[in-house]
Structure 1
Amino acid sequence: MDFLQKIISVLNTALWSYVLIALLIILGLYFTIKSRFVQFKFFGEMFRLLGEGASKSISSEGREQKGVSSFQAFCISTASRVGTGNLAGVAIAISMGGPGAVFWMWVIALIGGGSSFVESTLAQIYKVKDEHGYRGGPAYYMEKALNKRWLGVLFSVLITISFGLVFNSVQANTISFAFEEAFGVNRLIVGLVVTALTAMIIFGGIKRIAKVAEMIVPVMAIGYIAVALFVVFKNITHVPAVFSLIIENAFGIKEAVGGGVGAAIMMGIKRGLFSNEAGMGSAPNAAATADVTHPVKQGLIQTLGVFTDTILICSCTAFIVLLSGVYTNTKLEGIQLTQKALSSQVGAWGNTFIAICIFLFAFSSIVGNYYYGETNIEFIKANKLWLLAYRAAVIGMVIFGSVAKIQIVWDMADLFMGIMAIINLIAISRLSKIAFAALQDYSRQKKAGKNPVFSVDDIGGLENAECWEKKKKIA
């Protein structure tokens, strides 16, 4: 195990210290500039579309629809995004990279909004129909747009292993640690309970997954933000000092606990990407399921998910940890640091609250992550036996994660996430002009006072976009 740990550590250092950081920043900036700062320019439109999707989701209650609603697709991707990275991951970033890591998490989210828009719009353009509605993602646009099915298969294998198996063991790992810290419950027992609940949902298909995500995500996000705001207002006079601490350590003006500016950048970007998944190729799998009139609509909604995850929820954890001052305690790790930080501000019930939050956050991630694997297994081969084997493997990894050593689980997650991100970033860099053309079409229709509707002939030379037939546009 120690030998395996060393190999994974060496690969992660090379991947994250050089290759991935450069790709994320360069391509993120490229997408941002070429899209004319889509993640900022259309910020208000994102909220309007999300509200429109939520109202359609409510109005379609009890009726069969082609796919899931745009709001449900947003909740599935947010369920996957908002998990251990927001509570345990932020604490790890601060303890290992210092307060400056928070600044670099913000930067990667702002830049990553451009990458998120491109990948999710492409997933919508190249989605396919299935018995449940729609499915798609990076594997699908690699095959249909790049004509490289082998690359799509490679990506499918990676995302199935990383999200469905490795990342789900990370989520279960954090749940079990949180409950052990809060209630003294045996970690194996926690793992068995989580496994049973997981099995009940994943055997119900995408519609059940969408319903669960739609119920859990808003409740958990609002509850956690409310408690974080209480901590901030309680310490309002110290907030300017926390901002100063973050900025000073981000640029090496003042040495951070655990290292200087290099550690802050690496941990901020690593944990930031793990949390918001921008450019990684995961969220597009959820984006493709939505039934919308124009691909750009879901591209914008998914971009809002990056901001919700990092700028909002990760910042909540960061301020709780930094205002408490407990991040200097080197004996605390991961979720236990977040629990101790909140308890120091609100009392003993903070432990219990974080345990409940991490259960909701991490369990929703397990459900969302599972779906990413399912849709990619269907891409490789639509076979019920393969799907059954995958579900069994997911259940096994949830139990394994509940009792495993924390460091090797996180390191494996970093490695698979990095490889996935590189493959997807290269693919979307080659296909980004299609997403930009779709954005121009959307903007043109909006300026004409229309509700944008997309058809395959809106982009010259567009092929294999089977869900967007030529049709007469409506106002």
Structure 2
Amino acid sequence: MEGLVSLANGIIWSPALVYLCLGAGLFYSIMTRFVQVRLFGEMLRLLFKGKPDNDGISSFQALAVSLAGRVGMGNIAGVAAAIGFGGPGAVFWMWIVAFLGASTAYVESTLGQIYKERDVVTGEYRGGPAYYFERALGQKWYGILFAIASIVACGVFLPGVQANGVINAVAQVAGEGSAMTLAGIETGTTRLIALAIILVVLGFIIFGGIKRIATFTEYAVPFMALGYIILALLIMFTNFSMIPQVFGAIIGDAFTAQAGFGAAIGWGVKRGIYSNEAGQGTGPHAASAAAVDHPAQQGLVQAFSVYVDTLLVCSATAFMILSTGMYNIQGELAEGQFIVQNVAADVEINSPSFTQMAMESVYGNFGDTFIAVAVFFFAFTTILAYYYIAEVNISYLTRSMGKGASKTGQFIVKLVIMFMVAYGALNSSGYIWGLGDVGVGLMAWLNIVGIIVIFFVARPAIDILRDYEAQLKAGGGTTSNRFTFDPKKFGIKNATYWEERHLKEQQRVNADPLHKEPK
């Protein structure tokens, strides 16, 4: 099985996907006239503007859910792996894929908002790549293909990566405990106790639906990210004299990489996408659940989430590791042969170990414990986001089968994801990370190709960005001049939610002669 996973990874994560991700980000940056820079201030303003309604969550809650998916093991163990396999220059390419990927995140999340619909069981807003591939392209088979890929990736492959990181971090702090064998797997009592706690809390939250997930992540995500960044900044101040050297290593190694130029780009892009998920197609699911006045608003909020994930949290991890020197760089030719070796050879690269050691070198045992706690929150909230994505795609596949089929499908997904959390927690981390990479790669291939084709078929995300900017310049966003969106004005078909909403607004305007229609 491990050999098959490795073979699949080699095919999926060929240089073609690496350059497709970078190329799509550059393409949409140009097409949106670098929206990630021009409307940065508007992104910040929108974070706290929207309010939830009976069927949707607020913009900030949607941001928190999507950040729950973005801010996870990729920010702690993923950055360590990028440095360990690709050298410091890999961090530079993580920055590049984040900057360019912010435009991709805008496009995919705006598309999710345009083509969202109400769930047949809960009445909540549902949307994502499967929905916009069917409605924008008219290719239902492609939507079904993406839905299946995302259920397999987010429901089966990816949860184990997060759970594995949590269990490893706890075991490094508390020890393995008494050795025992469970279902043929050798493990320790510490891992089993930690796993039991995770499963109980996870079950309580996911059986409560998107509202409960959004409420939990709304508080947990800002708390964990802010605390992590503050401690990282303290380490940077402690090693203030090292900052120029760290920047020099990252920039200088980006094009003359210690581990090879291809390794730096490959690992930087791979772990960058794994971390910030721009282009992967995960962000649109949470974005579609938000209640907003204009689809472009949530696209802008989701673009900002890429910055938070990579330019803040991932950079914090990189500076901690590089400034303290707690890392090895493995050569491409043979496992166990290092280009740079600063720590013991048996320290696992695909784990939070480098980050824990960096924290411990400054804060002692507190640093080690804090990373274990951070890993728990980062990974746990990501598992919640993965569950929600799998649930949305189950809803997509079963929406024409009746409420009974949809409820059954969602219940099965809950059980599967809890099983995979247990399986991933107790198995080899290298093998589990390989499965995660397969899941990320499959979704990225399908989504990026799809949104590029949509551009040449229609261009809805670009057209409504111009509409939003025009309304913004005209003073939109006030009580007397709210943002409006009429999909028919742009020739956008099958945007049924927005068509119905615009019709109701027009009817309300016509019924009230004193009400002034927005400009």
Q: Which bracket does the TM-score occupy, shorter chain normalised?
A: over 0.9
2:55 to 60, 63, 66: 66
Q: Is the 8 A contact 1:190 1:402 kept in 2?
A: no
Q: C-alpha deviations, 1:109-146, integer Å up to 9, x for none? A: 01111111100000000000233431100000011111
1:49 to 46, 49, 71: 46
1:354 aligns with 2:371: yes
2:66 to 77, 91, 96: 77
In the alignment, the residues of structure 2 paired with residue 122 and residue 307 of structure 1 have an alpha-carbon distance, to the nearest angstrom, of 20
Structure 1, 406-415 or 117-126: larger mean CA deviation: 406-415
In the alignment, the residues of structure 2 paired with residue 26 and residue 88 of structure 1 have an alpha-carbon distance, to the nearest angstrom, of 26
In the alignment, the residues of structure 1 paired with residue 251 and residue 60 of structure 2 have an alpha-carbon distance, to the nearest angstrom, of 35
Partner of 1:277: 277
Q: Counterpart of 1:429 in structure 2: which amino acid? A: I
Q: C-alpha deviations, 1:139-196, integer Å up to 9, x for none? A: 0001111111111111111111111222111110000000000112522221121111
Q: Based on CA coordinates, which of the two structures has the bigger radius of gyration? A: 2
Q: Counterpart of 1:137 in structure 2: which amino acid? A: G
Partner of 2:127: 136
In the alignment, the residues of structure 1 paired with residue 377 and residue 156 of structure 2 have an alpha-carbon distance, to the nearest angstrom, of 19
Q: Is the 8 A contact 2:129 2:281 kept in 1?
A: yes
1:443 to 451, 463, 469: 469
Output the TM-score relative to the length of structure 2. 0.86
In the alignment, the residues of structure 2 paired with residue 135 and residue 261 of structure 1 have an alpha-carbon distance, to the nearest angstrom, of 41
Q: Counterpart of 1:395 in structure 2: which amino acid? A: M
In the alignment, the residues of structure 1 paired with residue 362 and residue 14 of structure 2 have an alpha-carbon distance, to the nearest angstrom, of 35
Partner of 2:242: 238
1:373 aligns with 2:390: yes
In the alignment, the residues of structure 1 paired with residue 214 and residue 173 of structure 2 have an alpha-carbon distance, to the nearest angstrom, of 30
Q: Which has the higher helix share?
A: 1
- Offset of residue 450 of structure 1: 1.4
In the alignment, the residues of structure 2 paired with residue 417 and residue 370 of structure 1 have an alpha-carbon distance, to the nearest angstrom, of 15
Partner of 1:265: 265
In the alignment, the residues of structure 2 paired with residue 110 and residue 238 of structure 1 have an alpha-carbon distance, to the nearest angstrom, of 25
Q: Counterpart of 1:75 in structure 2: which amino acid? A: A
Partner of 2:497: 467
Output the TM-score relative to the length of structure 1. 0.94
In structure 2, list runs of 5 or more residues that go unmatched: 177-189, 329-342, 400-405, 478-482, 507-516
Please give the root-mean-square deviation of Cα atoms over the aligned residues, in Å. Answer: 1.3
Partner of 2:485: 454
Q: Counterpart of 1:35 in structure 2: which amino acid? A: T
Q: Counterpart of 1:430 in structure 2: which amino acid? A: V
1:400 aligns with 2:423: yes
Q: Is the 8 A contact 1:249 1:260 kept in 2?
A: no
Structure 1, 153-162 or 436-445: larger mean CA deviation: 153-162
1:8 to 5, 13, 16: 5
1:94 aligns with 2:111: no
Q: C-alpha deviations, 1:213-250, integer Å up to 9, x for none? A: 10101100110011001001111111000000111111
Q: Is the 8 A contact 1:86 1:310 kept in 2?
A: yes
Q: C-alpha deviations, 1:380-406, integer Å up to 9, x for none? A: 004211211111111101111110101
In the alignment, the residues of structure 2 paired with residue 396 and residue 17 of structure 1 have an alpha-carbon distance, to the nearest angstrom, of 30
Q: Is the 8 A contact 1:35 1:436 kept in 2?
A: yes
Q: Counterpart of 2:44 in structure 1: which amino acid? A: F
Q: Is the 8 A contact 1:155 1:423 kept in 2?
A: yes
In the alignment, the residues of structure 1 paired with residue 139 and residue 441 of structure 2 have an alpha-carbon distance, to the nearest angstrom, of 21
1:188 aligns with 2:179: no
1:426 aligns with 2:449: yes
1:331 to 346, 357, 360: 346
* Count of residues in correspondence between the two structures: 459
Q: Is the 8 A contact 2:155 2:390 kept in 1?
A: yes
Partner of 1:320: 320
1:213 to 217, 220, 228: 217
Q: C-alpha deviations, 1:427-450, integer Å up to 9, x for none? A: 111223110001010011111111
1:341 aligns with 2:355: no
Q: Is the 8 A contact 1:456 1:462 kept in 2?
A: yes
In the alignment, the residues of structure 1 paired with residue 127 and residue 48 of structure 2 have an alpha-carbon distance, to the nearest angstrom, of 24
- Offset of residue 458 of structure 1: 3.1
In the alignment, the residues of structure 1 paired with residue 362 and residue 97 of structure 2 have an alpha-carbon distance, to the nearest angstrom, of 29
Partner of 1:307: 307
- Offset of residue 474 of structure 1: 2.5
Q: What is the SS of the residue equivalent to 1:273? A: helix
Partner of 1:60: none
Q: Counterpart of 1:210 in structure 2: which amino acid? A: A
Give the percent of matched residue pairs that are identical in Structure 1 and Structure 2: 44
Q: Counterpart of 2:32 in structure 1: which amino acid? A: S
1:415 aligns with 2:438: yes
In the alignment, the residues of structure 2 paired with residue 169 and residue 15 of structure 1 have an alpha-carbon distance, to the nearest angstrom, of 19
Q: What is the SS of the residue equivalent to 1:46? A: helix
